Amino acid sequence: MTREHLCRQWLAWLLLVAGYFLFRANYMLGFNLTPSLPQHVFLIRYQDTVSRGDYVVFRWHGGPPYPDGFKTTKRVAGVPGDVVSRHGRQFTVRGQVYYAKETGLTGRRLEPNPLPEGDGRIPHDKFFVVGDHEYSIDSRYLLVGLVDRRDIVGRAIPLF
């Protein structure tokens, strides 16, 4: 780039830089590296409202295999006030049944979410999240449990 080019195109460069910082303040790109969801790239809008059926990015606090604070993406199956029915390793949310596996793909034993047997309501500021893959580590398991609203980074919009 020459000085002459910068002098002629200063407004375009200024708008480009301002647009970059504006985008970065409100959005980020996220990549799904596991088979838990069929999509691989997400546009994440920080601090967006979250509804049932949305994809969300939240901070992981479940310990290995991921470090504390690792960001992961799942789909919201249950919102505050929804009833979750638990019968052993079977969870039902709004008529949709989710089964918790006894062991993961690595052969490690998976403990189910410690929700009490029977029907219970999702508390205020908590969400029941799931992945689409049968071995997705999500709210069916103790490692994740119900996700707290304060751990949600934002809403994820699948790109591809």
Q: What is the pLDDT of residue 78?
A: 97
pLDDT one-digit tens code per residue, 18-64: 888 888 888 999 998 888 899 999 999 998 889 999 999 999 988 87
Give the CATH number of domain 27-158. 2.10.109.10
Q: What is the pLDDT of residue 141?
A: 93
CB within 8 A of 35, min separation 6: which ones?
133, 135
pLDDT at 131 over 90: yes
Q: What is the mean pLDDT of the chain?
A: 91
pLDDT at 1 over 70: no
Report CA 129 to chain centroid distance, whole Å: 7
Q: What is the pLDDT of residue 22?
A: 84
The 10 Å Cβ neighbour count of residue 83 is 12
Return d(Cα 145, Cα 109) in angstroms, integer.
16
pLDDT at 108 over 90: no
Q: What is the pLDDT of residue 107?
A: 84
Report domain extents, the chain: 27-158
The neighbouring-strand residues paired with 27 are 45
Residue whose C-alpha is closest to residue 131's, from 117, 115, 116, 147? 147
Tokens representing residue 141 in the block: 């398991």
pLDDT at 120 over 70: yes
